[in-house]
Amino acid sequence: MQEIMLIEDDADISMLLCEYLLNYGFEVKAFDKPKEALLHLQENKERYALLVLDLMLPQMDGFDVCKRVREISNIPIIISSARSEMSDKILGFDFGADDYLAKPYEPRELVLRINSILRRTTKRSKVIGDFEIDEAKLEIKVDGLLLDLTKVEYDILQLFLLNSDKVLSRESIANAVNSIEYNSKDRTIDMHISNLRQKLGDDPKDPRYIKSVWGIGYKFIG
């Protein structure tokens, strides 16, 4: 699950976006004070896939935050603001923003903007432990050997790899993987995991990669 940083001082909007983005496979770390957010980003430069930034903030103007973020990180920035004048948009891009979304907007539009930016900025090939993910070809190799995966199996394995050593519930897997029907039963998730284990050569009694967490779901051991 990719992590998004949110700097937004409106508690209602912050809660709405955190809950909504979680349904699309994004874990959100929200800040209402920009100085705290900047300090956290300074210490966690590689942690976040993208920043959603409001402009109307306490402590600092949002444009100053954008400028400071760009000095310490190349993280993609989407400005989310009620300030919709063209001059504000121009300033936002001048200070290093990648996109500008004027409030009010449907949260689904934010998801589409996030996915569009991540497709452009995310490296197409990732090596994680024994695995190599080719996002352009939707392929995953283990120890150099190409796995014969269905779309669902690819999506689940990619989710596991990006969340190595984290416990994922069946519900979170279903919510994060768009190729799984939203109303899928737990046994459907278990069936996909069983098939994936077979293709990985994972002994279900003593799995190397996909561990069962009783009463919750699964954990991938990288």
Q: Where are the domains of the chain?
A: 2-121, 125-220
**Given the structure tokens 């779901």, which residue do they identify?**
217
The pLDDT tens digits of the residues spanning 179-210 come to: 777 566 678 889 999 999 999 999 888 889 99
The pLDDT tens digits of the residues spanning 73-121 come to: 989 999 999 988 999 999 999 999 999 999 999 999 999 999 999 888 7
The CATH homologous superfamily to which domain 2-121 belongs is Response regulator (3.40.50.2300)
Strands, DSSP E only, in 54-171? 77-81, 99-102, 125-128, 131-134, 139-142, 145-146, 167-169
Residues 6 or more apart from 208 whose CB is under 8 A from it?
A: 200, 201, 202, 221
Q: What is the DSSP letter of 126?
A: E
CA distance 175 to 170: 9
Picking from 78, 72, 57, the residue whose alpha carbon sits closest to that of residue 5 is 78
**CATH dotted code for 125-220:** 1.10.10.10
